[in-house]
A and B are shown apart, each in its own frame.
Chain A
Amino acid sequence: MKIVGVTSCPSGVAHTYMAAEALQKAGKEKDIEVHIETQGTSGVDDELTSGQISAADFVVLSTDTSIRGTERFKGKKVVQLTTTQIIEKADALMNKLSKMA
């Protein structure tokens, strides 16, 4: 299974990156390929490629602030959660998505 995602939060300093790391860590533990783009105060890091997006089974987007470039995910299965939910429940989310894939 492959997952891509974009995280962002109001101050763009901490939760953006914690949520990204939580998803990447949970993916690594479960052997799921995960690519996460962060949209923070210091700019966009790890911008998703069109190849990564087209290969992804699911897209995870944080809902704390509006994500830029959501048109890239048209037609994809999108899961939306707050960064706090992602941070606390990344493992459970990965398990759930694995079963749905």
Chain B
Amino acid sequence: MNNVANFVDVVTAFDIEADSKAEAIKAVITKLDAAGKLLDREKFQADVFAREAELPTYIGFGFGLPHSQSDYVKDATIGIGKLTHPVEWNDGKKADFIFLIAVPYGGKENTHLKILANLSRLLMHDDFRDKLRSTSETEVRDLLMASQNPHRSE
């Protein structure tokens, strides 16, 4: 498997103080935008919220996984957001950890999609989630970069 860093970047936003899911997602998007990963912040945000409205992305374990394949993304990026306190995500379920996946459209190259697929699989494992939660903001990027091979059951 290829090195994650060649295909997907990681941007972190820890200690987010938000009182709603929308505020929390916006805080992560602000960091993505500041890192130069988006072509149009407002339009990308609209795409993420549209996806969220279609099918909310709470995945259990206090994790929200908003994501969008969008025309307004420049480079495939994972935005990791950690909240100071949980916010309601959907159906009364609360999240305090955000894994925002931003993927551009186009191109035949789909390595980034394979990497995101593998990272999504990793989130199903409690040892990986525990590591994510206990890792500092400066180290979480390295953790993701290092953890490429999911524990595929086959």
Given contacts A41-B69, A87-B124, contact A34 B153 (CB under 8 A): yes
Interface stretch of the complex, out of B12-20, B28-36, B59-67, B80-88: B59-67
Interface of B (DSSP majority class)? mixed
Q: B130 at interface (Cβ–Cβ under 8 A)?
A: no
Kindly identify, within residues 130 to 154 of chain B, every residue whose CB is under 8 Å from any CB belonging to chain A: 150-154
CB-based contact B59/A87 at 8 Å: yes
Q: Is B24 an interface residue (CB 8 A)?
A: no
Q: Which A32-54 residues have a C-beta within 8 angstroms of B?
A: 34-35, 38, 40-43, 45-46
Q: Is the CB of B154 within 8 A of A24?
A: yes
| Chain B contacts for A14, CB-based, 8 A | 57, 65, 67, 101, 116-117, 120
Interface bits B47-62 vs A (CB < 8 Å: 1, else 0): 0000100110111100
In the bound complex, residues from chain A placing their C-beta under 8 Å from that of B45 are none
Is residue B43 within 8 Å, beta carbon to beta carbon, of the partner chain? no
Q: Which of A10, A25, A43, A64 has the most CB of B within 10 A?
A: A25
14 A–B contacts, CB within 8 A, in A order: A11-B68, A13-B113, A13-B117, A14-B117, A18-B65, A18-B120, A21-B120, A21-B121, A21-B125, A24-B152, A41-B110, A41-B113, A84-B59, A88-B60
Known: A10-B51, A18-B123, A43-B110. 17 other contacts (CB 8 A): A9-B55, A10-B54, A11-B51, A11-B69, A13-B113, A14-B101, A17-B118, A18-B121, A20-B121, A25-B125, A38-B117, A41-B110, A41-B113, A84-B58, A84-B59, A87-B124, A88-B59
Which residues of A are at the interface with B, using a C-beta cutoff of 8 A?
Answer: 9-18, 20-22, 24-25, 27-28, 34-35, 38, 40-43, 45-46, 64, 84, 87-88
